[in-house]
């Protein structure tokens, strides 16, 4: 049986994004309906680049679930492993867009369907049939999804399927934000590559809840105090092979236990909406990883994907094609190893 390239696991949502770019949230007159959720965004990006991708999430028995599934099917994402969860609601997100640095966001995740994904759903997906599995840190905020992620990571490890963790810190989804780091550090020994922003790396080693500050309701981009160098060292010591730290327009830095840190430059562009950029990076990086590229080369492709998405209003809906990404890279000097 032919292996599929990628399985992503975690949240999905209908995303309602402000049509009034630059307006204060209280002055928004209308919203565009997109789809989102980090694992869904990553799946769509990797799929548009050319990978055979499946998504494991949960949706409700509602029209919002129909909306998401219809989009995924049009994108040729395998939806066979997505359960409809009786009694639960498909997630929703509302976002204001105030470039360059304010993107207030409201999650609607009470009784959400994707947090009901269970170990049985993971077993049905059969991790061994994929070349790579990607999991989301936010999916460990509650049971049964938490155990599903632990089980998926364990299955990947046992079946020699590389596991890529998107650290994915969403502070308002955790009863105690320090438990976020406990969950992340607990799975790192069986993770191949971890990806996160500087703030997410700090959150993964957080000891004091007062070190996290959310301004302008930007729950996807909190300010997190701490010592980045010490946090990176702690994460590597926990057992992950590679840590990739995203730094926006500056690109990324690659950390590995026995190597010097390596910076991979980004592609500075004018920003419209930062949400989705990190997911685009992950989708592009995973594409290169599946092709057998070096980590730095795959990061260059990921950086280009992120640069394209920040210039667009949506997330999954605005993920680039391989042709668009390669054109940007060629315009900026080519893809070197």
pLDDT at 103: 85
Going by C-alpha positions, the residue among 82, 87, 25 that lies closest to residue 59 is 82
Residue 307 CA to residue 251 CA, distance in Å, equals 10
Handedness of CA 67, 222, 248, 260 (dihedral sign): negative
**Is residue 291 a contact partner of residue 328, using CB atoms and an 8 Å limit?**
no
**Is residue 50 a contact partner of residue 287, using CB atoms and an 8 Å limit?**
yes
Residues with Cβ within 8 Å of 177's Cβ and at least 6 positions away in sequence, in order, are 171, 203, 206, 209, 212
pLDDT at 198: 95
**Could you give the angle at which helices 322-331 and 38-49 cross, rounded to 10 degrees?**
80
- pLDDT, tens only, 201-214: 999 999 988 888 87
- pLDDT, tens only, 43-75: 999 999 999 999 999 999 999 999 999 999 999
Segments of the chain scoring below 50 in pLDDT? none
**Is residue 51 a contact partner of residue 6, using CB atoms and an 8 Å limit?**
yes
Going by C-alpha positions, the residue among 106, 95, 96, 104 that lies closest to residue 22 is 96
**Is residue 147 a contact partner of residue 117, using CB atoms and an 8 Å limit?**
no
How many other C-beta atoms are found inside a 10 Å radius of the C-beta of residue 323? Answer: 9
Residue 315 CA to residue 36 CA, distance in Å, equals 6
pLDDT at 107: 92
Q: How is residue 166 written in tokens?
A: 């998107």
**Is residue 77 a contact partner of residue 172, using CB atoms and an 8 Å limit?**
no
Q: What pTM, to 2 d.p., does this model score?
A: 0.95
Residue 196 CA to residue 242 CA, distance in Å, equals 11
Pseudo-torsion of CA 109, 273, 268, 303, nearest 10°?
40
**Is residue 337 a contact partner of residue 297, using CB atoms and an 8 Å limit?**
yes
pLDDT at 219: 58
Strand-pairing partners, residue 166, are: 136, 195
pLDDT at 266: 94
């Amino acid at each position: 049986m032919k292996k599929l390239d990628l399985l992503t696991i975690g949240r999905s949502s209908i995303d309602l994004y402000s049509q009034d770019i630059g307006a204060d949230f209280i002055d928004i007159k209308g919203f565009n309906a997109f789809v989102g959720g980090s694992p869904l965004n990553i799946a769509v990006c990797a799929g548009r680049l050319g990978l055979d991708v499946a998504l494991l999430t949960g949706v409700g028995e509602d029209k919002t679930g129909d909306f998401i599934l219809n989009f995924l099917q049009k994108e040729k994402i395998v939806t066979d492993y997505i359960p409809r969860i009786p009694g639960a609601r498909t997630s929703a997100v509302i976002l204001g867009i105030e470039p360059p640095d304010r993107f207030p966001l409201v999650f609607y995740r009470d009784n959400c369907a994707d947090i009901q994904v269970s170990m049985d759903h993971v077993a049905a997906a059969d991790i061994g049939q994929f070349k790579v599995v990607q999991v989301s840190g936010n999916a460990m905020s509650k049971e049964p999804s938490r155990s599903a992620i632990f089980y998926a990571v364990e299955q990947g490890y046992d079946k020699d399927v590389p596991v890529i963790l998107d650290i994915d810190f969403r502070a308002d989804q955790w009863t105690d934000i320090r438990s976020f780091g406990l969950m992340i550090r607990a799975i790192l020994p069986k993770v191949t590559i971890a990806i996160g922003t500087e703030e997410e790396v700090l959150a993964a080693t957080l000891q004091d809840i007062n070190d996290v500050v959310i301004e302008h309701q930007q729950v996807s981009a909190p300010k997190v105090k701490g010592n980045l160098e010490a946090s990176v060292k702690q994460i590597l010591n926990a057992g992950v092979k590679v840590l990739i730290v995203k730094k926006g327009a500056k690109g990324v830095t690659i950390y590995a236990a026995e190597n010097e840190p390596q910076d991979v430059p980004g592609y500075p562009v004018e920003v419209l909406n930062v949400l989705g950029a990190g997911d685009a990076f992950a989708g592009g990086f995973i594409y290169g990883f599946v092709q057998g590229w070096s980590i730095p080369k795959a990061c260059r492709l990921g950086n280009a994907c992120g640069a394209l998405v920040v210039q667009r209003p949506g997330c999954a809906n605005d993920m680039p094609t391989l042709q668009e990404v390669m054109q940007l890279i060629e315009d900026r000097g080519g893809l070197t190893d």
